[in-house]
Each structure stands twice: as C-alpha cells, then as structure tokens.
Structure 1
Amino acid sequence: MRTQLFQIAKFGAVGVVNTGTFYVLYLLLHTWLPYYPAYVIAFLISMVGSFFLNTYITYRTKPTWRKFLLFPLTNLTNFVVTSVGVFVLVEWFHVNEKIAPLAAAVVAIPVTFVLSRKILTHRDADRPADEVPVAARG
C-alpha cells in the first residue's frame, strides 16, 4: 500500500511536469496553428516524455520496446477523454481555448495512472528473451 501511495505521488509530480511541458508546447504551437492541431501535436510529444518520466521516475522500471509500443494504448483513453473534453468545453461551453486542455486533463488523471501502472510495471520476466530495453538500442 505504501509503495502504491508513493507511486501515486510520483505519478502526480511527473504529471505536473508533463502537463507543464504539454501546455508550453500547446501555447507555442497555437501561435501559428488552430487550437486542435496544436493540441494533438503537443499531446503526442508529451506522451513520449511521459513514457520515459514514468518509466524511470514513477515506476523505476526499465523501458522496453514492448512497453513503449503499449504505452500509447494507455494514453488512448487519456486522449479520448481529454479530446472530447477540449471539444465540448470550447465548442459547447465557450471555454477559453488556452484553458480547456488543462480542465479536460484533470478528468483523465485517475484512468491514466491505473493503465500506465499496469503496462509499465508488467513483469520483465514475462517478456520474450529477445526483447531489448529501449535504452540499449541505438
């Protein structure tokens, strides 16, 4: 139980850093792109950062190609929830385009924790012998 609480705290800290990175990217991209393409691009870039931050900091596990390829599946739920949220907030409730992604992200946090923990803490012993950690490949 203590380990899980510590992971939740680290997940939150990583999430704050990742959300900040996403938001800065979103604002920079939104200077020359409409809000939704800026949102999608910033989301994809921050997802890669999230994988490595959560692998090394939150769950203290080795990144592998298998985990890297599965990690976007966990974020698919996050993407759907936040994408629908951004659209609904901006188009239906006329929330400022600069604030809507932050508000929508709050709803997706618990789901993302559960799914990322399942994938990133999957036993390394269960992986195929030929699977090499991401950091070991060039």
Structure 2
Amino acid sequence: MEDSLTRPSSPAGLSCYMAVSQLLGLTVIAMTGAWMGQYRGGIAWESALQFNVHPLCMVIGMVFLQGDALLVYRVFRNETKRSVKILHGLLHAFALVIALVGVIAVFDYHRKKGFADMYSLHSWCGIAAFSLYFIQGYLQ
C-alpha cells in the first residue's frame, strides 16, 4: 500500500535524454544566431536587418521554450504540482512573448519595405500555428 502513495521514479535514461534535448536545442539556437550574424549581416530592429529577428525569435520561442514547457511535468515529477504548473506557465508565457516579437518584427519589416503580408504558404501556416498556440494558452 505504501508503494502506491509514492510518486513514480523517472524513467531510465531520462536525464540523458533531457541533456541531449537541451544540447540540441541550444545548438539550434546558436546555429540560427550564427546564420543571422555571419551570413545575413546581424540582427537589428531599426534597419534592414529587422527581418533577421524573426527566425531567431521563432526558434527560441516556438521551438526551444515551448518544448521545455512541455517537458517540465516529466522532468520535475517529484516537485510540488503548484511549482511545476507555475514553471510550465512561465515558460509558455516567455515563449509566447518572444514569438510575438518575431511576428511583430516580420510584419513591421514588411510594412517598412512595402512588401505584401501573408503572401506565402509559410506565412499562413506560421500565423495559424501562432494563433492556435495563443488561443490554446488563453483558454486554459
């Protein structure tokens, strides 16, 4: 009866999988930053480099932080549920804010350059993914 009251232990190898996932995530962020810095001229808000904010923010927000927010319940299974929920919510909020900066950057860049918005499948799929992510977070 006592065993049913204790929390289950972490699956074997979870810490290795987590270390690999974090290493891969940070590598993707570093590679995107290097791509923007070395091959696209850098990142700036008030110049032609404003567009470069978009890919970096999307990788940080919608890939890395959102993924970490999803993994929080598995990693911190021995912590109190309240603290895990707070961390989960904070990571999702940071992911949303950073992704929103990326969306604003690309729309502002298009407006300044006189380009049409939402002209590609990438644009439509991206705005759909961001909108559904926002709606899902708002409804919870």
Q: TM-score, normalised by structure 1?
A: 0.33
Higher relative contact order (CA 8 A, sep 6+): 1
Q: Name which one, 1 or 2, has greater alpha-carbon Rg.
A: 2
